[in-house]
Amino acid sequence: MTDKQHITIKGVKEGLVFLLDDDCEFSALLDELQYKLEKSHQQLLTGPIVHVHVKLGSRHLEEEDKERIRAAIRQQGNLLVQSVESNVPEEIKPDDGRNLKILTGIIRSGQTIEHDGNLLLMGDLNPGGRLICTGDIYVMGALRGLAHAGTNGLENAIIAASLLRPTQLRIGEVISRPPDEWMTGDAAMEFAYLNEGVMKIDKMTQLHRMRKEPVVFKA
């Protein structure tokens, strides 16, 4: 088998980190993992118990496929898998009756989350990341990427964040002006909304002026 370097194995203080390519076919990943465990990296993988952390990048795997990775690594008697982790934010509550999606984690550059309904991110939206939904967007962290709310034409949608420092905001068909033209000084606990077709920014304490009912997230 040709070593295509879909898997990089690095030694760290805690043991070993297996960095898995997130673009190739999963079957090719398993084949190369088996090859490296059995042949090309035998010297590295022998000796006393070694703790292994597997990094999947932006690849999302079901628990069954994660177990296939764990099983392959466990065949080396001295390897103990501590974690199999992905950069894809974990969805912790798919729907609460208001079609609210809640995510926890970090949306990194190149990642896009789309949803039909309201979206709550308990984490950061990094530059190059995108949140897109038909309802409101709430970020309990720093919003530094692109956020597009009200994609189906909902003009009273809002975009709110603990720290509002976006590369671009969109509500419905309205695109924000360059951030330095409209962002306030501290950018803390603010929301963006449309007023007569123009995007405005205000403090979260003023949200009640737009909404007759408080925003309630059901448990």
pLDDT tens column, 56-103: 988 888 888 999 999 998 887 788 889 888 876 655 544 444 588 999
Distance in Å from the first CA to the final CA of the chain: 52
Q: Render pLDDT for 94-140 as a digit per residue (tens, 0 to 9).
A: 444 458 899 999 999 999 999 999 999 999 999 999 999 999 999 99
Q: Based on the fold, state whether residues 56 and 103 are members of the same structural domain.
A: no
Same-domain status, 72 and 94: no
pLDDT grade for 184, boundaries at 50, 70 and 90: low
Residues 119 and 199 in one domain: yes
Number of H helices, E strands in the chain: 3, 16
Select the more confidently predicted residue: 35 or 159: 159
Of 45, 8, 1, 7, residue with least CA distance to 26: 7
pLDDT at residue 16, as a whole number? 87
pLDDT of residue 170 exceeding 70, the answer is yes
Domain limit, last residue, from 85, 104, 134: 85
User: 140 lies in which domain range?
Assistant: 90-209
What does the pLDDT average to over 159-178?
Answer: 90
Same domain for 102 and 201, yes or no, is: yes
Whether 172 contacts 205, CB under 8 Å: no
Within a domain: residue 102?
yes
- Whether residue 22 lies inside any domain: the answer is yes
How many CB atoms within 10 Å of residue 181?
Answer: 7
Does residue 56 lie in a domain region? yes
CB neighbours of 25 closer than 8 A, spacing ≥ 6?
none
- Of 20-29, 31-40, 82-91, the one with minimum mean pLDDT is 82-91
Q: Is the pTM of this model over 0.75?
A: no
Asked if residue 219 belongs to a domain, the reply is: no
Domains in the chain: how many in total?
A: 2
- Mean pLDDT on 178-201: 78
Residues 95 and 147 both lie in one domain: yes
pLDDT of residue 41: 61
pLDDT tens-digit readout, 4-16:
578 888 888 888 8
Confidence (pLDDT) at 111:
93
Q: Say which residues have a Cβ less than 8 Å from residue 21's Cβ, sequence separation at least 6.
A: 5, 6, 7, 29, 57
128 shares a domain with 63: no
DSSP letter, residue 156: T
Residues 69, 39 share a domain: yes
pLDDT digits (tens, 9 = 90+) for 205-219: 888 776 655 444 443
Nearest CA-CA partner of 41 in 66, 84, 78: 78
Distance CA 100, CA 104 (A): 13
- Please name the residues in contact with 39: beta carbons below 8 A apart, sequence gap of 6 or more: none
